[in-house]
Amino acid sequence: MQESTGRETFAPAYAALLESGELAGRVTAARRHMQDCDLCARYCHINRLETPRGAVCRTGERAVVYSCGAHHGEEDPLRGTRGSGTIFFSWCNLRCVFCQNWEISHKGTGHEVGPDELAGMMLALQAQGCHNINLVSPSHVVTQIISAVEIAARRGLHLPLVYNTGGYDSPEALALLDGIIDIYMPDMKYGDSDIARRYSRVRDYVRFNRAAVREMHRQVGDLVLDAQGIAQRGLLARHLVLPQNLAGTEQVLDFLAREISPDTYLNLMDQYHPCYRAREHPPQDRPLLAGEYNCALALAARLGLQRLDRDQGQRRRPL
């Protein structure tokens, strides 16, 4: 377990960019990308400053936020004792048929916010005592996030930023975020791109996802915790085990262990249940079986992935 000596020495990555003036430059650069959008792996090339029409994310110049608050259900190193300061963005660049938040991600329930209001949310979460700022479904609002961070940092934001993504991120977006994001938390949803296209309506998911995870790890390394077990910097991967091994769990875990790091902090999730249109897509129409999840745990152990969230490696689900 990687651990630092204490939070008193922590400084967020974006602090150095603010001091050098580079953070303001990133705001300008990110805005240019929106004019011919390549800020997620869909590469729609739409001028989103003029209209979001035609973009899968349906998001223009202003982000849409569903909720903002302390979240106590995230991974242990994020939630700690005071919660993870979660900002849940509406819309998404994926179209998962089993989406558990479909009213937010598919219908866009929420309200538009400008950069000042978004910065204010970050500062309010900090004032509440949250351990971090957790940006959920951020891939389509990279420009809006960078703009808000620059404002919030000038006003005293000093918490680590968590980029909580579905994992379909472009190298262009990650280059803009280099030195801004402290903790990357990507989903690795699939080990097979054909399955990804069938169930999440995206092309080449595995290629883009793996390239993104490699770059995220290059930027921040393995997850580092402070003396209280709170995440400061690094990569935290998520993988949702699906019925009948549709997620390609062995391929995903093998990639993490062999090509990223055996010290990768992993949330191997067992909470799949049919949502949205899952019942139209067997075998996604049934919950995960205990045996299927136990096989995933055994795979992680065999591959040497020991840093599992909430002591998953020490338990088995009852059959």
What is the per-residue pLDDT across 92-107, written as a single tens digit (0 to 9) for each? 999 999 999 989 998 8
The gap from C-alpha 2 to its chain's centroid, in whole angstroms, comes to: 21
The gap from C-alpha 301 to its chain's centroid, in whole angstroms, comes to: 24
Whether residue 106 lies inside any domain: the answer is yes
Task: Report the half-sphere exposure of 76 (CA within 13 A, side-chain side).
Answer: 15
* Residue 2: pLDDT over 80: no
Which ranges of the chain does DSSP label H, i.e. alpha helix?
Answer: 13-20, 22-34, 76-79, 102-105, 115-127, 142-154, 171-177, 193-200, 205-220, 249-255, 290-302
User: What Rg value do the Cα atoms of the chain yield, rounded?
Assistant: 19
Q: What DSSP line would sit under 238-265, residue for residue?
A: EEE--GGGTT-HHHHHHHIIIII-TT-E
Q: State the pLDDT at residue 317.
A: 46
Whether residue 226 lies inside any domain: the answer is yes
| Domain range enclosing 126 | 7-314
Q: pLDDT, tens digit, for every residue of 277-293?
A: 999 999 999 999 999 99
CA distances from 95 to 20, 105, 167, 209, 297 (A): 39, 8, 13, 15, 27
Count of structural domains within the chain: 1
Which two structure tokens, joined as six digits, stand for 97? Answer: 């048929």
pTM flag (> 0.85): yes
**CATH number of the domain within which 189 lies:** 3.20.20.70
Whether residue 230 lies inside any domain: the answer is yes
* Residues forming beta bridges with residue 111, ordered by sequence position: 65
Whether residue 1 lies inside any domain: the answer is no
Whether residue 319 lies inside any domain: the answer is no
Q: If you average pLDDT over every residue of the chain, what do you get?
A: 94
Q: pLDDT, tens digit, for every residue of 158-201?
A: 999 999 999 999 999 999 999 999 999 999 999 999 999 999 99
Average confidence (pLDDT) over 285-311: 95
Q: State the pLDDT at residue 106.
A: 87
Residue 238 and residue 167: Cα distance in Å, rounded? 10
Residue of 268, 269, 260 lying closest to 301 (CA atoms):
268
